[in-house]
Chains A and B, each alone.
Chain A
Amino acid sequence: MKRSFPLVFAFIVGFLVLLAEFIPHRPFSQLISTLENWFMIIAGFAILLGQISLIRVNSRIISNKEHDWQYHLAGMISFALMLIVGVLWGMREAPGILGKGEDIALWMGMKPFDYLFTYAYMPLSATVFSLLAFFIASAAYRAFIIRGFESNLLMITAVIVIIGRTSIGSMLTGWLPESWSFWHIPNLADFIMEYPNTAAQRAIMISAGLGIIGSSLRIILGIERSYLGGDK
């Protein structure tokens, strides 16, 4: 029963969603959005599970004074601070239990939650994102080291696209006559991006689509059960 109920449920819901994709008439037309709303409601309740997990794991590390426990303490303080100011004064237009916090907003320029979000959270998030620029450089260096024919081809293609996307590309081959415009580096870069690159990406997307169909069918038919924790 414990295993068969989810399987039957998955079959019915999966089949109905599949039908709803092709039937525009009610109730099928509203089925997908209804199920999405249900998912949102369940996810809303499940947030509590995440918070419990967060507090439990961090509390254990802090109380046992495990390695780098100070960072976990900083994380917990940040969590508590955002929670408290959010509950007390709310965020944006939403009021908190102490009202809309006009006085404190007048003093800080905005509500405390919004202030922390704008001046603490956003810069931190942007900092992590900005690491991407450095990681792209290091990854590109490794990818473009010439080892064989394929990596040689990759490097030549990449150089054409990189140069073609900058003004240097236009400058280098701008003198070419109109009849040779295909060999103009920006045009060459466009060609690479538009044809070989798009073709390869579409091939991956088609194969992924087929994989999704197969995977979904295995789940709907109950052949794939490992997402429930086991095969039997």
Chain B
Amino acid sequence: MKHCLIFFFAMICFSSLSAENISLIDVPWDDGKALELHWDLPFMPDSVSLSISDPEGNLIPTQIELGQTGRLQISDLNPDFEYRATLTAYKDNIPFRYQTTGQAREQWFYLHKSAFLILLLLICIAIIYYITAAKRGKDFFIRRISGLDSMEEAIGRATEKGKPILFVPGIGDLDDIQTIASLTILSHLAQRSAEYNTELIVPCRFSMVLSAAREVVKEAYMKVGRLDAYKPDSVFYLTDDQFGYVAGIDGIMLREQPAANFFLGSFYAESLILAETGHSTGAIQTAGTAQAHQLPFFVVSCDYTLIGEELFAASAYLSRDPQQLGSLKGHDFGKLLVILLIIAGVILEIAGISNLKDFIAGALS
């Protein structure tokens, strides 16, 4: 009789679905792939278990921490589905089951990226303003970049020695902005090498880069009226493999002994292997990358190094086009903005106000 009563009591508890104690809320301002489970139980449970399932009954893996109240974010959900959460809390071996449903909704704006958007808009407006000002004829001072000024010297030396120029567009594919920046520099370099009739060697790691680099070099030769001097095989594919590519370039440097080496683009562990081999051949070396970890290697082994932003400014600097030079002034505005934000952030943090930090961190999280 006693067991029957306990079983009866347990059944009542088990079936007493209390939606007020548990809720599945849509995470706001996101892509509709997350829900947040909130629970507030009337007692401290001995243990809890949670199951989240989609309309087809497939379970979503989750892990819940023991607590009378709490919240848990469930990610990687489908915004088209309504999910059912079942929280079972055990007290003295008696299960209490709570159920709720919820559906994630897609929003039209990532609120946590507001600061990022504002900064981006300010910098873009500044760049467009300076480009427009340059169009109207305003002259801007642009500091000298010795790595780019040396390009003429390197080409001249290669021409005098009758040796080729080696241009390595990095190990990134065409979806890497550093590779695009590298190809814009290649365009200027190819024009000069065509004018001086100096051989240019461009080994590529990816077929897409090969295709784009060939087009860039061919157009450059065409532009200076030396299409007859263009050799399609001077821009060639080596291998997709990182160290195979390095070994291939090292071989070219040792066999062909180029008078000038350009390593511009995205580089990783191979940067020092390339730069040191080039250094051992006595070539003038210019390198440039936005990979902060590889810059020390290039600085040590190369004659000139384009640091970070200089790689992206190279095309504008080399073209001497007022519009493009104007855009470089926009970069300076961006730097000023960042400096002011850092100073303001430090002062506010010292004063115990963390609103600015939180606002910016929202953009970075």
Contact = CB atoms under 8 A, between A and B. Distances in A.
Interface string A180-192: 0000000000000
A215 B319 CA distance: 14
Given A29-B106, A39-B175, A215 B31 contact: no
A120 B120 CA distance: 49
B237 A218 contact: no
Given A125-B243, A131-B273, A22 B180 contact: no
Interface stretch (B42-50, B160-168, B303-311, B346-354): B303-311
A50 interface: yes
B206 to A, nearest CB: 7
A227 B312 contact: no
Interface residues of B, number: 89
B280 to A, nearest CB: 9
Interface in B209-223: 210-212, 215-216, 218-220, 222-223
A1 interface: no
Interface in A6-57: 21-26, 29, 36, 39, 42-43, 46-51, 53-54, 56-57
Interface stretch (A85-93, A101-109, A136-144): A136-144
Nearest to A128: B243
A210 B324 contact: no
Secondary structure at the A interface, as helix, strand, loop or mixed, is helix
A25 B107 contact: yes
A93 B188 CA distance: 47
A49 B109 contact: no
A171 to B, nearest CB: 28
Interface in A44-82: 46-51, 53-54, 56-57, 60, 67-68, 71
A121 B242 CA distance: 12
B183 interface: yes
16 contacts: A23-B110, A43-B206, A43-B208, A49-B210, A50-B206, A50-B207, A68-B255, A201-B293, A208-B311, A211-B308, A211-B310, A215-B312, A217-B127, A217-B128, A226-B216, A230-B187
